[in-house]
Structure 1
Amino acid sequence: MTTDYKFEGWMGLDSQAANGNMVWQEFEPKPWEETDVDIKVTHCGICGSDLHTLRSGWGPTMYPCCVGHELVGVAVRIGSQAEGDIKIGDRVGVGAQNESCFGRNGDCEACASGLEQYCPNVMVGTYNSVHTNGGKSYGGYALYHRSPSRFVIKIPDGISSAHAAPMLCGGITTYSPLRHHGCGPGKSVGIIGIGGLGHYGIMFAKALGADRVVAISRKANKKEDALKLGADAYIATDEDADWAKNNSRSLDMIISTVSSSKMPIIDYMTLLKLNGAFVQLGNPEDGALTIPAGVLIYKRIKFTGSMIGSPSEIREMLELAAEKGVQSWVQECPMKDANQAIQDMDAGKARYRFVLTNEQ
């Protein structure tokens, strides 16, 4: 089994990296364990979390940092104790999490329930984290990636690598709460924010069988795209003064992908039916979300959040995507152009997910 390859990638050295100043250089992956898999990266999606991390938007980043947690590639080294029946040459991927406390001196309640993303003991991100063996995690804007096998996902034959990569974070971040809150026949679902996450929200709500999916954005410029993605209706909040009144009590659940504390959250709540659920996915840098208690009390509304998904949820999502023909809307960019791609992502130019491709 050859290991004569180098781990090299785009490294953020300080908060200016998000402005297109990442530097290509070699890095030292986590020390090898026999439960690990090495992956030759072919594709890596660009996620909003990458930008938040590169600029230390969610707190101080452990520079140098190689971001990218929507990576797909080929397994080139497999430990003798690896899980998942992975073989050399298999097409595999890794999402936003690399390790939890599962299997380490007794599992926590979350891990034992197959919800490793909520592990309170060991939540190791695919980048900008430290593994239990002391090694630092580095992401997929790179040639190779090393991951504990539990978090390595085999990619179904029915999905291309470019389409699968952004599903590993962007896709599962919307699929998991839709599934958890009962999206299916008889349900009406609103998706706030038609972007990298929101376009998945529309497609997976329809794939899960929702009767009605409503896309919600500030402007009308994404209406055509939203309808092509499968939305049944579209609300442009800046262009209809009566949007909240006209759509009152029409939705069973709302998935909010917006990362802003300035959203009209009270108006959004009026769209929910009795016992409706508002699920927040975006994590604003610009302040806290606040809501009067009465807004929740008078309709018994659930105001909640959700974070990525577990390995089992990701596998389930990919199988559904293959079965239902769910295809990411992606724009592929050469890995060498990653600095320009992250700037274009920050400028809102993605329709709706940029995917970096290694040309080697």
Structure 2
Amino acid sequence: MPSTDEFTGWLGYDAQSVNGNLKKGTFNPKIFTDDDIDIEISHCGMCASDLHTLRSGWGATPYPVVVGHEIIGKVIKKGANVTQFELGDRVGVGAQCYSCLEADCHECTSDNEAYCPEAVFTYAMTYANGDMSYGGYAKTGRYPASFAFKIPEALTSEVAAPMMCGGITVYSPLKRNGAGPGKTVGIVGIGGLGHFGILFAKALGAEKVYGISRNTSKEADVKALGAEGIIATSEPGWASKWNRKFDLIVSTANNSDMPLHDYLAVLKTGGRFVQVGLPESPIPSLQFRPLINRNLHIVGSLLGSRSEIAEMLELSATQGVKSWIKTYPMEDVNEVLLLMEANKARYRFVLAN
């Protein structure tokens, strides 16, 4: 049973809530345990996952739901077992809020907590006791302290918020798949995730980074983010021109009609294609010949580990990585949802209490 505590947030009650129909109201968070913290939320980034969930795009959503998993705020209550935080500490919570962390769990002991069979995401999932998880479009949040992170002083809260999901979603596959000195990296999709892809590929020391998009309309932004340039997939023969040029491609695209075989064609022998965007419809069929003939690797990636989140935040603080954001009052959430749906973010919206 959930607690009798009442938190205030912006709730979606059906699939039409994505159309700017969230309702301000109260909800009952999980039962408070000795391992939990309560956070007074100051900022919450807006993620495409919020839209997919609100409209039940990835499957039936357990309404009512409070979305938002790029949460920054201060600790206002902590359980008896919480020693890593003090009241008043500024912390962040991302898209995952729980895994078992047991010694016999292969995922949790191999820096792969996101893939733990008992993982709970920050909204629209249930804990083992049946309590629902609620996200950050709210005044207050309650989460296990093991998945909260201190925010370095050098990062403002509005800059740090989108890193808690958008940032780590691309940082982890870049780091795990060798983005670094001497490597040429392509980032497919120049949006909320894609702009982080360019920023972090450069921060990790990749020699060359290119944005890959349907057209060149965002070329100035791509270069301002630090990339060498932009590659337009609408131009005839683009894949032939860039044949075998990339060590690594990270795709943030959510469109199911992606030119997958063209992406594979521009990879070097042994190159890696990592998909982090999650289309609501299946992608086109895959031919195995390109994989076999050039020893290519297609990889999927979901979020990142707790150690990678801490590492990403520290790297951002020391190297001055800044999210490209526009901040709105939390009370304007429905108007901002419509801007998100219209693809107006450049490149991340943040809600502020």
Please give the secondary structure, in 1, of the residue aligned with 2:192.
coil
> Pick from 108, 111, 120: which aligns with 1:111?
108
State the partner residue of 2:158: 162
Tell me the matched-pair count: 350
What TM-score do the two structures reach when normalised by structure 2? 0.97
State the partner residue of 2:78: 78
Alignment of 1:35-184 (within 5 A): 35-83=35-83, 85-103=84-102, 106-120=103-117, 122-184=118-180
> Pick from 226, 231, 234: which aligns with 2:227?
231
Amino acid at match of 1:252: D
What TM-score do the two structures reach when normalised by structure 1? 0.95
Task: Report whether the alignment pairs 1:193 with 2:189.
Answer: yes
State the partner residue of 2:347: 352
Amino acid at match of 1:95: G
State the partner residue of 2:252: 257
What do the CA deviations read for 1:116-167 (whole angstroms, capped 9, x no partner)?
10102x1101000111232110000000000001001110011000000000
Task: Report whether the alignment pairs 1:213 with 2:212.
Answer: no
Deviation of 1:289 after TM superposition, in Å, equals 4.4
Alpha-carbon contact 2:6-2:29 (below 8 Å) kept: no
Deviation of 1:346 after TM superposition, in Å, equals 1.3
State the partner residue of 2:304: 309
Alignment of 1:240-251 (within 5 A): 240-251=235-246
State the partner residue of 2:29: 29
Amino acid at match of 2:116: C
What do the CA deviations read for 1:319-351 (whole angstroms, capped 9, x no partner)?
001111100000001100101111111111000
Please give the secondary structure, in 2, of the residue aligned with 1:112.
coil
Please give the secondary structure, in 1, of the residue aligned with 2:39.
strand
Alpha-carbon contact 2:258-2:283 (below 8 Å) kept: no
CA RMSD of aligned residues (A): 1.2
Deviation of 1:259 after TM superposition, in Å, equals 0.8
Deviation of 1:290 after TM superposition, in Å, equals 2.6
Alpha-carbon contact 1:31-1:133 (below 8 Å) kept: no
The 2-side partners of 1:27 and 1:302 are apart by: 44
State the partner residue of 2:14: 14
The 2-side partners of 1:67 and 1:329 are apart by: 21
Please give the secondary structure, in 2, of the residue aligned with 1:109.
coil
Please give the secondary structure, in 2, of the residue aligned with 1:81.
coil
The 1-side partners of 2:233 and 2:260 are apart by: 12
The 2-side partners of 1:150 and 1:217 are apart by: 37
Amino acid at match of 1:225: D
Alpha-carbon contact 2:66-2:137 (below 8 Å) kept: yes
What do the CA deviations read for 1:167-220 (whole angstroms, capped 9, x no partner)?
000000000000000111011000000000000000000000000001111111
Identity %: 52
Amino acid at match of 1:200: F
Please give the secondary structure, in 2, of the residue aligned with 1:135.
coil
What do the CA deviations read for 1:54-104 (whole angstroms, capped 9, x no partner)?
000000000000000001001100111025x1111111010000111113x
Gaps of 5+ in 1: none
The 1-side partners of 2:157 and 2:292 are apart by: 45
State the partner residue of 1:268: 263
Task: Report whether the alignment pairs 1:203 with 2:199.
Answer: yes
What do the CA deviations read for 1:265-300 (whole angstroms, capped 9, x no partner)?
111111100000000011111223431000111110
The 2-side partners of 1:327 and 1:228 are apart by: 12
Alpha-carbon contact 2:248-2:267 (below 8 Å) kept: yes
Gaps of 5+ in 2: none
